[in-house]
Structure 1
Amino acid sequence: MAESRVVYGCMGLGGSWDRGPWTAADVDRAQAAVEAALESGITVFDHADIYRHGKAEAVFGELLAREPGLRDRITLQTKCGIRLPEGDGIGRYDLRGSSIVQRVEESLGRLRTDHLDVLLLHRPDPLADPEDVAEALTSLHRQGLVRQFGVSNMSAPQIARLQKPLELPLVANQLEMSLHRRDWLESEVQVNTVAGAGLGFPVGTVEYCVENGVRLQAWGPLARGRFTENPETEADRAAAELVRVLAERHGTTPETIVLWWLQRHPAGIVPVIGTSRPERVRACRDAAGEEPALTHEEWYQLWVAARGEPLP
């Protein structure tokens, strides 16, 4: 997939979370956010077929129709595998091969494009047959409908199980990772501790991805503004103050500091920012265009501040 320091997550585009139609105002708001991303050097756009019940993709497709040259300047990524409740039905996961193919065709129609650059399998489906999945992905690739594949919210063993019958490499794994959601990191240093036994993150997943060329994408990297706008705990407030100080020291924005903290990790983590506010997108510009400037000590200071207690 295209190299990018930051990905723009399109979950906030398309209006309300219902099955009603999108509006011209929704398209205008999406255009403002997308233009802010492009101005900031962000050219990878992340979708999912369920975002706003498909309206996020549809509104983005309208933008591509308005500006035909835009498609060639960007990388389009979407996800499938979650089925939202419909009527009396229940929400569920669905990675049957036939369902994957159908969902891709529907996403292509909404996005008004003839191919996806990357398709991620959104969540693990316990009923999925890896051979069936591999057959569907291979078919989509041979038809030129999808160029690369990855996963989302999966552990190392789950990725390995899907990869085994698949000749095409899985290139990405999207996980919730932030200065607030740190279990992926805490698990590294709390092996053989009582506290570590209570962490839910599967140990070895980050290492597996690095060793196998699976790019880590971090969803929720700004943690809903906990360290820039809306601190909720004493630890949040202490970390937010440190973020402010470091932003002044490095001549950048608090949002960039929070993203730099993720990017400074040697795993090469790519944040997926999900804000639809143009001014907040622009606040991430330095993270999209520059190497993280945090020192070793500053990185640890942020970690300890967000933890609210010393490292073990």
Structure 2
Amino acid sequence: MKLGISELETAPIALGCMRMSDLTKQEATNVIDASFEAGINLFDHADIYGAGTSEEIFASALDESSVKREDILLQSKCGIRHGYFDFSKTHIISSVDAILQRLQTDYLDSLLLHRPDALMEPEEVAEAFRELKESGKVRYFGVSNHHPQQIELLKQYVEEDLIINQLQFSLMHTPLIDAGLNVNMQNKESIVRDSGLLAYSQLHNMTVQAWSPFQFGMIEGVFIDHPDFPEVNAALQEAAEKYGVSKSAIAIAWILRHPANIQAIIGSMNTERIQSITQALSIRLTREEWYGLYRAAGNNVP
């Protein structure tokens, strides 16, 4: 798949590196090698992951890895500070310089604005993006956790294409699709909470990157094998047995089945689990299976 309208080729699964700060250099090297061998070539970072330590360990591990910088895509995010958000030109540019130093690279393939800044001045963002693009420090840009109007506001000033929106989405966290299945109804599922983000993303060819694809609630825990969710786990197990893969692979295959050009960001630092999850790349669920899993997750189909 390609990220948005860019020329960046990637797999439908990427590795989120938030937990890499907990690894030794050798462990991180093993994770990079196992991920690349399984078909993953995009590694997602943020300047707040491990207070920058995740990026430092990744760079050190990549240096020991058989994987070369030119064979992968490096993505990072900025804008979250201690207790507030900051999309000022000064902060964006200084953040990128620090990210590049920690990652020991000359450029990022993609930079995302991490969470909306209520005090954002889009003119400043545009200036920062222009400088970063012209200097060769960032190839492409995007956002994370932004709704369509915020993206449209940015696009009025930013000359560069916004190719990505990173959003929480999983089988047990489905606000992105609930309202679209309950149009003109009076139940709570019909409430539009995101201004139609998935349809907007498809209309504007923005890649949705699904973060926390195994979480329920607001990252309250993993639903796979969780005793509070017997029905969805039974449905996952049935599909897993049919396709000869893990339940985690089915949960990712459910995300990838949606036609909105979604890329799942997995966060495992376990090499065997990474290999197990990427089995999803060989699966295409039927409509009956997709809706069956959606219902098993506690949702009604009107």
Query: TM-score normalised to the size of structure 1?
Result: 0.89
Aligned equivalents of 1:177 and 1:105: distance in 2? 30
Cα offset, 1:200, TM superposition? 6.4
Structure 1 segment 113-124 matched on structure 2, within 5 A: 113-124=105-116
Structure 1 segment 247-262 matched on structure 2, within 5 A: 247-262=240-255
Aligned equivalents of 1:207 and 1:310: distance in 2? 21
Aligned equivalents of 1:122 and 1:55: distance in 2? 18
* Residue of structure 1 in register with 2:40 after alignment: 42
* Residue of structure 2 in register with 1:133 after alignment: 125
> What SS does structure 2 have at the residue aligned with 1:301?
helix
Identity of aligned residues (%): 37
CA contact (8 A) 2:75 2:111 kept: yes
* Residue of structure 1 in register with 2:279 after alignment: 286
| Aligned residue type for 2:78 | C
Is 1:273 aligned to 2:266, yes or no?
yes
Ranges in structure 2 where 5+ consecutive residues have no aligned partner: 1-7
| Aligned residue type for 1:242 | A
CA contact (8 A) 1:210 1:267 kept: yes
* Residue of structure 2 in register with 1:223 after alignment: 215
Cα offset, 1:103, TM superposition? 0.1
Aligned equivalents of 1:154 and 1:279: distance in 2? 33
Aligned equivalents of 1:164 and 1:184: distance in 2? 25
* Residue of structure 2 in register with 1:14 after alignment: 21
| Aligned residue type for 1:295 | T
Aligned equivalents of 1:74 and 1:49: distance in 2? 19
User: Aligned to 1:92, which of 84, 92, 97?
Assistant: 84
Cα offset, 1:227, TM superposition? 4.2
Q: Could you say if the C-alpha distance between residues 167 and 68 of structure 1 is closer, same or farther in structure 2, counting changes exceeding 3 Å?
A: farther
User: Aligned to 2:98, which of 97, 106, 118?
Assistant: 106
Ranges in structure 1 where 5+ consecutive residues have no aligned partner: 16-24, 85-90
Q: CA RMSD in A?
A: 1.7
Q: Could you say if the C-alpha distance between residues 166 and 42 of structure 1 is closer, same or farther in structure 2, counting changes exceeding 3 Å?
A: same
Aligned equivalents of 2:153 and 2:230: distance in 1? 42
Cα offset, 1:199, TM superposition? 4.4
Structure 1 segment 6-85 matched on structure 2, within 5 A: 6-15=13-22, 26-67=24-65, 70-84=68-82
Aligned equivalents of 2:167 and 2:266: distance in 1? 13
Q: Could you say if the C-alpha distance between residues 76 and 285 of structure 1 is closer, same or farther in structure 2, counting changes exceeding 3 Å?
A: same
Aligned equivalents of 1:5 and 1:190: distance in 2? 28
> What SS does structure 2 have at the residue aligned with 1:284?
helix
Aligned equivalents of 1:260 and 1:278: distance in 2? 19
Cα offset, 1:201, TM superposition? 2.6
CA contact (8 A) 1:101 1:140 kept: yes
More deviation, 120-129/219-228: 219-228
Aligned equivalents of 2:107 and 2:203: distance in 1? 29
CA contact (8 A) 1:77 1:116 kept: yes
CA contact (8 A) 1:216 1:269 kept: yes
> What SS does structure 2 have at the residue aligned with 1:34?
helix
Instruction: Provide, for residues 58-90 of structure 1, a one-character-per-residue CA deviation record: whole Å limited to 9, x for no partner.
Output: 101112333486211100000000013xxxxxx
